[in-house]
Amino acid sequence: MERKIQRVIEICENNYGKPKPFRLSNSLDLLVETILSQNTNDKNTFKAFSALKKYYVNYEEVLAANETKLAKIIYSSGFYNLKAKRIQEALRAIKEDRGSLNLDFLKNKSKSVAFNYLIKLPGIGPKTAAIVLTFGLNHESIPVDTHVYRVSQRLGLVPKTFDRTKTQEFLENNTKRGLKNALHYYLIKHGREVCRARKPSCSECFLKKECKHFKNK
């Protein structure tokens, strides 16, 4: 499977070009923003996160905030009561463990140590942890969103029986070091532009020779 994954990356690079480099974001911002993104779209996530950052000076204020008030601030993200609770619980756990609200100490830890720390935080699952690892802590990972999950399954990169957690683990274990961020980027881009959920453009897809879904049509 490692060879097939590498072929998919090479074909995507030939068609999409190399992924654009990204700047690392504040890891705590990413943690909170990803909680807000659960079960909603990018537009609503951005609106809620912007409102939170505008209203509260720092995360100490977010932690000390009235939970009902915080929920109103992030209303646009949907499931706002649950998300307000999760945000404060995660911040509280970090503060109690570290004495301050900061995750930068994880940059000096191994990926496995950093991952295990993150998923032990209240309300934080493998996808959120992987996003923070990749875009906040400079650890290679493959967060599995709806596009990554759908495209990897259609291509036959992972077994159909795998859920998102197993898919993430499998892709990371079978993708060479230095290529994981690229695979993540290409699967998302391909899922948005070609391998869409309802009407995939199979006839126009440059990956169809590698695609299990196309071969079984």
Same domain, 107 and 123: yes
pTM of the full predicted structure?
0.89
Taking only the tens place, the pLDDT of each residue in 58-85 is 999 999 999 999 999 999 999 999 999 9
**Do 58 and 131 lie in a common domain?**
yes
Domain count, the chain: 2
**How many CB atoms within 10 Å of residue 97?**
11
Whether 34 and 123 share a structural domain: yes
Encode pLDDT of 85-110 as tens digits: 999 999 999 999 999 999 999 999 99
Q: Both 61 and 127 in a single domain?
A: yes
Q: Are residues 129 and 56 in the same domain?
A: yes
For the record, the structure tokens of 100 come out as: 């301050």
Q: Whose structure tokens read 């923070």? A: 132
pLDDT of residue 23: 81
Q: What is the CATH number of the domain that holds 76?
A: 1.10.340.30
- 62 and 100 housed in the same domain: yes
Same domain, 98 and 34: yes
pLDDT band with cut points at 50, 70 and 90 for residue 128 = very high
Range of the domain at 191: 2-20+143-215
Same domain, yes or no: 62 and 153: no
Q: Is the pLDDT of residue 136 over 90?
A: yes
- Residue at a domain's end among 83, 104, 136: 136
* pLDDT for the residue numbered 24: 84
- Run of H or E residues at 180: helix 180-193
Residue with tokens 């199979």: 202
pLDDT at 217 over 90: no
* Domain end marker among 87, 113, 136: 136
Mean pLDDT of 190-195: 96
Same domain, 156 and 100: no
Whether 173 has a pLDDT exceeding 90, the answer reads yes
| 112 and 42 together in one domain | yes
Distance separating alpha carbons of residues 139 and 125, to the nearest angstrom: 17
137-168 pLDDT per residue, tens: 999 999 999 999 999 999 999 999 999 999 99
* One domain, residues 105 and 154: no
